[in-house]
Amino acid sequence: MTGNLDMRQIYVAQLRIHAHELIAGGYRLLDAPSFATQEETAITGELVRCMKEFMESNEASGWAVHYDIAEDPPLNVAGRLGKSRPRVDIEFLRTGAPGARPRLLFEAKRLQQSSGHTVGVYLGRDGLGCFLSGKYPITHGEAGMLGYIQSGSESEWSNKIEKALSDHGERYGVTPPAFQPRQLCSLKHTYLSRHHGRQGSGYITIHHVLLLFH
């Protein structure tokens, strides 16, 4: 088969897969349990450092050279200047030539019930809400959420997230099915949800990656 395949669409799918692979590669290099009580910024910093180390290692695939990873980069949003610009936790962006740079943004949140890092916070204004409200600009209708699990298991948290999205579908602009497993890389606990943005920005696909840190 040839001729009718949309190159862009297939390349963009690769961007999504590669971002997940880089997260997986970086996570593998981390001593995850040692972050059981760490703040979210400390974990993100270390995860990004490890992702970069992975990219430079011989283990990384050839495609890794086409990406850059930025930690806590300011985002260009109309009307927001300088230090008032919003910052996302992790940004995967393609490199290689001048011009438009599609990027996949990931917002990270700790998940630890006892210290108040709940699903509500994960899905709230400063979590998933950043994408749904349009606070973070996205380039091709996709973004990601990283859940740093510091208590309980991945399944427990994925169930809680699914329940919250199902129970409050309207609040989160959920398009059913609310929360589905979607394995894009060697990580097992990756999921997908679809939402409609609040500012008429069309549908947004959110990739959820749950990483165990205890």
Partner 1 sequence: MYRKAVQHCGLQGVYTLNDNQRNVDVPIVFYCKATSEAEANRIHQLVWNQDVTPFILVETPKMIRLYCGFRFSSQAGDDRARGLLEAAIAFNEAAERLSALSAEAIDCGRVWDVWGSEVTTKTRVDWTLLKNLEDLERELRRQGLDRQASHALIGKFVYLQYLRQRGILSDRKLERWGLGSADIFSRQADLAAFRELNRRLDEWLNGAVFPLNPEAIKPSHLQLVAGVFQGDTTAGQLHLDFEPYDFSFIPIETLSVIYEQFLHSPDQGESNRGKKAGAYYTPLPLVNYVLNELETRRPLREGMRVLDPSCGSGAFLVQCYRALIEKRLARGGRLPTPGELSELLTGHIFGVDRDGDACQVAELSLVLTLLDYITPPDLENTQLFKLPVLRNRNIFKADFFDSASPWEEASRGLRFDWLVGNPPWREFSRGDDEDRHMRQWADGNRKTNPIGGNQAAEAFVWKALPFIAKEGIAGLVLPAMTLFKIESEQFRRKLFSCVHPWRLANFSNLRFTLFSGRSKHPAMSLFFSIEDKNGALTQINTFILSFAPFAVNQRANRQGKKREKDTWNLIITSSELAEVSQSEAAAGCAETWKLAMWGTYRDKRILQRASNRFPQLTDFLKAHGLTPPHEGFQLRDPGKSKEPVEYIPELRDKKKIDFSKLRDCGRIFAFPKRVITPISPNETYVRKGRGALPMSVSRPPHIIVDAARRFAVYSDHFVAVPPRQIGLAGSGRDKDILKALTVYLSSDFVTYQQFFISPEWGIRTARSTLSALKCLQTPLDELSQADIQEWAGLCDELINEGDGGKTVSPRLITELNERVMKLLGFTISEQFLIYDFVRWNMRMIDGMTPNELLGSPSRNTLSDYLGILKNELDAFLGDQTGFHHRVEAMHDKISVIIAISLTTDSQDAPRIYHADEEAAASLRTTREKLLKQHSQWLYFSRNLRVYANNALYMLKPMERLHWTNRQAILDAGEVIAETLGQPEA
Output the smallest distance, CB 213 to partner 1, in A.
Answer: 26
Segment 171 to 210, residues that bind partner 1, using CB under 8 A: none
Q: What distances in angstroms separate CA 173 from CA 73, 109, 127, one per listed residue? A: 27, 20, 14
Contact residue for partner 1 among 94, 109, 207, 208 (CB under 8 A): 94
Residues 46, 30: Cα–Cα separation, whole Å = 8
Of 96 and 120, which CB lies nearer to partner 1 in the complex structure?
96
The token duo for 84 is 């008032």
Per CB under 8 A, does 84 bind partner 1? yes
Answer yes or no: are the C-beta atoms of 136 and 107 closer than 8 Å. yes
Per CB under 8 A, does 114 bind partner 1? no
DSSP H helical ranges for 57-128:
119-123
Q: What distances in angstroms separate CA 133 from CA 63, 171, 204, one per listed residue? A: 32, 11, 11
**Ramachandran region, residue 141 (left: φ > 0; alpha: ψ -120 to 50; beta: rest):** left
Of 26-34, 94-102, 172-180, 204-212: span binding partner 1 (CB under 8 A): 94-102
Of 61 and 153, which CB lies nearer to partner 1 in the complex structure?
61
Segment 37 to 56, residues that bind partner 1, using CB under 8 A: 56
Residues near partner 1, by CB under 8 A: 1-15, 17, 56, 58, 61-63, 65-66, 76, 81-84, 94-102, 140-141
